[in-house]
Amino acid sequence: MADTLKLELVSPERLLLSEQVEMVIVPGAEGVFGVLPLHAPTISTLKPGFVQVYKGGAVAESFFVTGGFAEVTATTCTVLVDEAIPQGNLTREYAAQRLAAAKSRLDQAANDDDRRLAQVAIDNAEAMVQAAA
């Protein structure tokens, strides 16, 4: 059995990680799931939560993601995220500011599309508030 798999964590702005890891925990839309080497092929949408990267038998890095997709093969896990925030940067103050900005955006929404996007921003910010607590 292979000891590691290649993880690529990609945001719209840049490649955040591209390295061999022991395991990845992913917040799938149908539930959180772990990815080990030789995992069955899988594609999943993501919900807000933490992508945790394991090396040396422990969590080496953790990123709060707001959504996206994960594609898993036997040797790779590619996670394409809408937004990724390193866990150390996700403070209560930052999450509260994001929630206030999202609520303001909803108050200023001019049409249904704006309201829908504002509601998504509120849902993501509320998940951030919970994660930062």
Q: What is the pLDDT along the chain (133 residues), one digit of tens a residue?
A: 469 999 999 999 999 999 999 999 999 999 999 999 999 999 999 999 999 999 999 999 999 999 999 999 999 999 999 999 999 999 999 999 999 999 999 998 899 999 999 999 999 999 999 998 7
The enclosing domain of 27 has a CATH number of 2.60.15.10
- Please state the pTM of the whole predicted model: 0.89
- Contact between 133 and 92 under an 8 Å Cβ cutoff? The reply is yes
Distance CA 122, CA 73 (A): 33
Distance CA 129, CA 94 (A): 9
Same domain for 106 and 55: no
Same domain for 26 and 11: yes
Same domain for 71 and 28: yes
Helix, strand or coil for residue 1? coil
Same domain for 81 and 96: no
CB neighbour burial string for 10-48, b if at least 16 within 10 angstroms, e if fewer:
bbeeeebbeeebbbbbbbbeeeeeebbbebeeeebebbb
- Domain coverage including residue 83: 5-87
